[in-house]
Structure 1
Amino acid sequence: MTSSEPTATADHRNRSPATGITIYGCEPDEAALFREMAPGFGVVPTITEAAVSASNAELARGNRCVSVGHKTRIGHPTLRALGRVGVKYLSTRSIGYNHIDVAYAESIGIRVGNVSYSPDSVADYTLMLMLMAVRNAKETVRRADLHDYRLHEVRGKEVRDLTVGVIGTGRIGTAVVDRLLGFGCRILTHDARPETSVDHVPLDALLEWSDIVTLHAPLTAETHHLLDRHRIERMKRGAFLINTGRGPLIDTEALVPALENGRLGGAALDVLEGEEGIFYADCRDKPIESKALLRLQELPNVLISPHTAYYTDHALSDTVENSIVNCLTFENGNQA
């Protein structure tokens, strides 16, 4: 695995001869940025809106590096097809890479790299979700849309009066902590490798003491269902749960009843188990097969957004630039 900071060195620019990179799953706004930035790096991009698959791997023939999106799982057949056409490096335009079997890719000679981007995008969104959750924003706005301007039955809470537990203190978690300091609340953190100066506590203690719990841990075999039924039951009664990390960090089947029976005060979820094929699609005229998503959206104390916390102009620019830089770093033989 490799990752890149949002900077570029001068020797990447104006390279000769030009380097080809095939870019898959590229939305129009990303495509515009790739076309704008690529010439300055001496890169010729081959761009397609289609997600990478075994059937379109041929588009990468002649290019050792490809850039892929995070919205679609990349299976073994696709990785084998990329390997057959000569791909040696795959840059995913995301921090997480749980949609790729990295060990399998490397076993067939394809190295995988992720990117970093502005942590402020997700950190800002996380704070917005926290504030919306503790102020009953979902129901307040819904009522106002129907011209019901009565006060909510439950008064909101002020963040300064609460304890906020931050699970995961990487770049995004640390940016969340920095923002919380301005609210004057008590902050607890938990991480296998703590990187903040605020109170670091065991996970069970954080869950028992926190009025708000926000998740920023990477999704790994160890963190899958980090918040399972037992840990959700350990959470402070009436606590709010925020997730802008990865959906499977939470056992959704355990979360729903805890919200229904009042064990938890509410949740704000930008990511969800089983979101693939639903989030990023227009589902207005087709049925939603996820019963958990449908039930969560029915609950008045649950906010759902479609994995959009990262989506800002600054973060998208970082992502495109770093995907290019990762590929050029690989081509230049600097694989640090």
Structure 2
Amino acid sequence: MVRSFASPRHTCLSRRPMPSRMQRSPPWNGSTRRSRTAIDAPREERVTVKVAILGTRYRDLSIEEEILAPLGAEIVHGDGGSPEAIIEVAHGAGVILAGSGPRFDAGTLKQLEAGAIVRYGVGTESIDAAAAAALGMWVAYVPDYGTEAVAVHALTMALAAARRLQIADGTVKGGRWGIGDVRPLHLPSAQTAGVVGLGRIGRRSAELLAGVGYEVFGHDPFAETPGIRLGSLAEALAADVVTLHAPGREDGSPLIGRDEIALMSEGSVLVNTSRGSLIDTAALVEGLEQGRPAVAALDVFETEPPDVEVFATVLDRVILTPHMAWYSEESERDLRIKAATEAARILGGEAPLNVAATPGG
């Protein structure tokens, strides 16, 4: 059953005991007697487990309901836009499924008295994982969705920027004609592409870039990728097109600052579909004003939504999209199935497959 938070109150398992990898843990109150779960209970005695879904804009929750309802889950949902909103909806939930918006700091987690959080997506920066573990909570995530969608979006942005489509569009809409505003343009077969980060998405992006003719080389200190020539970060940044697919740094510092921007080629393109924290935005704007890079195509930002006024002096040199690279109907469905399946594992007494925090860890 799916209910909005405005629905009547319902019975749920509060402070639900969470499983270790080998066995279910005792209840959080320290008792050695294990609580009955929705799975353990006979059909006529089955306990309703509260599952909260926060920070999504899905048209309906039928995918999650199909996977979780057989386990006794009753789904509530809300926007999770503030600590108060999170606690109001999700207090006592066996599992919380969360989008990127809700922020779970230590204080919020302590008041939640929930069992686990599963992120719709890869990043868990919005969750204090250490605090969650100390409170006996799992934190899980979905790392392997949207690979094709993000790689296609990165390629699309790279080609649009390389062809200066944002400038050509403004030329025609401004009542002008001709190609003078976009000169010089070059074919992919005459240019290089540097791919920074060679995980699933980086490797697929490299394949797509090579497929349209770019000479591709990559940079990843942790990867050995057959078929891709590897080089230093400086070598990657000197390419005609640079695409970023690296994870954010643990301390949140940018990978691309003023010194790195200075290494870029005049007339080059910089694409970021990975993490907003990878780029020092102020340094990027300064570089764009000097033509290094000539165009930046960004799907992620240091703060989302971004303050577009930051780009006021270089609006004709940027292509901006609203953190949509991951999205297609197919990738969204894949994400939701995998997130709900992780929640089902936890409710069923199993460890999730992709773990950012382990109870007591």
In the other structure, the counterpart of 2:325 is 309
CA, structure 1 residues 102+271, in 2 after alignment: closer, same or farther (shift >3 Å)? same
CA, structure 1 residues 174+41, in 2 after alignment: closer, same or farther (shift >3 Å)? farther
In the other structure, the counterpart of 1:111 is 138
1:130 matches 2:165: no
The offset of 1:318, in angstroms, is 1.3
| Maintained 8 Å contact 2:188/2:212 | yes
Q: Deviations over 1:289-318 (max 9, x none)?
A: x6424444x2x1211111111121111111
Aligned residue for 2:166, secondary structure, equals helix
In the other structure, the counterpart of 2:345 is 329
| Maintained 8 Å contact 2:285/2:311 | no
Equivalent in 196, 200, 217 of residue 230 of structure 2: 200
| Maintained 8 Å contact 2:54/2:102 | no
Distance in 2 (alpha carbons) for counterparts of 1:313 and 1:150: 38
Distance in 2 (alpha carbons) for counterparts of 1:293 and 1:113: 35
Equivalent in 294, 315, 326 of residue 265 of structure 1: 294
In the other structure, the counterpart of 2:22 is none
CA, structure 1 residues 220+88, in 2 after alignment: closer, same or farther (shift >3 Å)? farther
The offset of 1:35, in angstroms, is 4.4
Q: Deviations over 1:153-189 (max 9, x none)?
A: 3132222211111111111111111212312321111
AA aligned to 1:151 is: I
Aligned residue for 1:70, secondary structure, equals coil
Q: Deviations over 1:222-281 (max 9, x none)?
A: 673101111111222322100001111001111111110123221101111122xx36xx
CA, structure 1 residues 170+222, in 2 after alignment: closer, same or farther (shift >3 Å)? farther
TM-score under structure 1 length normalisation: 0.82
Greater CA radius of gyration, 1 or 2?
Answer: 2
Equivalent in 259, 274, 281 of residue 252 of structure 1: 281
Aligned residue for 2:100, secondary structure, equals coil
In the other structure, the counterpart of 2:219 is 190
AA aligned to 1:213 is: V
Distance in 1 (alpha carbons) for counterparts of 2:171 and 2:71: 51
CA, structure 1 residues 34+205, in 2 after alignment: closer, same or farther (shift >3 Å)? same
In the other structure, the counterpart of 1:8 is none
CA, structure 1 residues 313+321, in 2 after alignment: closer, same or farther (shift >3 Å)? same
- Unaligned stretches of 5+ in structure 1? 1-11, 280-287
Give the CA RMSD over aligned residues: 2.5
1:318 matches 2:334: yes
In the other structure, the counterpart of 1:69 is 99
CA, structure 1 residues 45+54, in 2 after alignment: closer, same or farther (shift >3 Å)? same
CA, structure 1 residues 108+207, in 2 after alignment: closer, same or farther (shift >3 Å)? same
In the other structure, the counterpart of 2:310 is 292
Distance in 2 (alpha carbons) for counterparts of 1:22 and 1:157: 51
Equivalent in 148, 168, 178 of residue 150 of structure 1: 178
AA aligned to 2:310 is: A
The offset of 1:52, in angstroms, is 6.1
**Aligned residue pair count:** 306
Aligned residue for 1:194, secondary structure, equals coil
The offset of 1:98, in angstroms, is 1.8
The offset of 1:48, in angstroms, is 2.2
| Maintained 8 Å contact 2:277/2:302 | yes
More moved, 129-138 vs 160-169: 160-169
AA aligned to 2:170 is: R
The offset of 1:323, in angstroms, is 1.3
AA aligned to 2:207 is: D
More moved, 135-144 vs 125-134: 135-144
Q: Give the number of the structure whose residues are more often helix, by fraction.
A: 1
Aligned residue for 1:177, secondary structure, equals helix
- Unaligned stretches of 5+ in structure 2? 1-38, 354-361
AA aligned to 1:304 is: L
